[in-house]
Amino acid sequence: MNTIKQILSTFPGYNKGLVIPALQAIQAEYGSINLTVLYEVAEHFNTSSEQIYSILSFYPQFRFKPKGKYHIEICNSPLCKMNHHQEIISYLKNLIGIEPGEISSDALYSLDVGMCTGICKKHIRINNDVYLISSVDEIKSILDKYSKETKL
């Protein structure tokens, strides 16, 4: 894993337009952005750490909380909201006890509502894999498959 310094060295500090790509690269490497990197990034781009924090907190891509090992995403488009959005969220809340934006206590699962993917059938997305489901009860067996993997 590259250190923050190594990542930042590929972005010339005089160009403030590269702040966002630099932060995106850090997040891609570490999964989330730890607040301790603020000072390092600010120093590199010769700006204040408040400035960097305001950018981080403004854009939805950046997350301070780490993702779970299995990151579950649910589509947020108006069509899905009409159809089955709420049903899946309440099922997951019962099953693993987390709401969108939260991470489970064993750091295994995290849940988010995301942008439309274009699959307008009932589905859930775990990391990069998509599972089409005909009823919400199938979610349990899909998650079981993942949790077995962790135990092994």
Partner 1 sequence: MTPSFGELLPYIEKREFPNEWLMLMHHEKVSIPTIFISISSATPENIITEIKAEINRYAETQKTTFNIIETGSFGILSFEPVIGIQLPGKARIYYAEIYSNEIYSLLEAVFSQWVQHHHLLGQLNFQNTEAWEGVPLLKEQKWFCNESRHITEACGFCEPPSLLSALSWNRWTTFLYALRNIKQDDIISIIRESELKGRSGSGFLTGLKWQQLTKTNSEQSFLICNAYESNPSSFHGRLLMESDPHLVLESIAISAYALRSTKAYLVIPYRFSLAIKQIQNALKQAYDNGLLGFDIQKSGYSLDIHIFIAPGSYIIGEETAIINAIEGKKAMPNEKPPYPIQQGLFGKPTVINNVETLTQVTYIVRYGTAWFKSIGNEQGYGTKLFSVSGINILRGVFELPLGVPLKHIYDLTKNENANVKAIHLGGPIGNIFDQSFLENIIINFSKPSFVYDGSILFIDHSNCIVDYIKNEINFIQNESCGKCLPCREGSKQLYHILEMLTKRPENEQTKETLVRIKEVMMLTELSNTISNTSLCGLGKKFPNLIHDLLLYFKNEVEEHLYERHCEAGVCKNLRTYTIQVEKCTGCHICFNKCPENAIIGVIQHPHFIIQDKCTSCGICYEMCKFSAITFK
Using CB under 8 A, list all residues that contact partner 1: 16-21, 23-24, 54-55, 58-62, 76-79, 81-83, 114-120, 125, 128-130, 132
Query: Which of 48/107 has CB closer to partner 1?
Result: 48
3-state secondary structure of 122: coil
String of DSSP letters for 105-116 = TTSSEEEEEE--
Residue 98 beta carbon to partner 1: minimum distance, rounded to whole angstroms = 19
Residue 117 beta carbon to partner 1: minimum distance, rounded to whole angstroms = 6
Query: Which of 55/108 has CB closer to partner 1?
Result: 55
Query: Which of 14/148 has CB closer to partner 1?
Result: 14
Please give the Cα distance from 64 to 32 (Å, whole number).
6
Residue 77 beta carbon to partner 1: minimum distance, rounded to whole angstroms = 4
Please give the Cα distance from 27 to 34 (Å, whole number).
9
Helix ranges restricted to H, 1-152: 4-9, 19-30, 37-44, 49-58, 78-83, 85-96, 138-151
Residue 75 beta carbon to partner 1: minimum distance, rounded to whole angstroms = 9
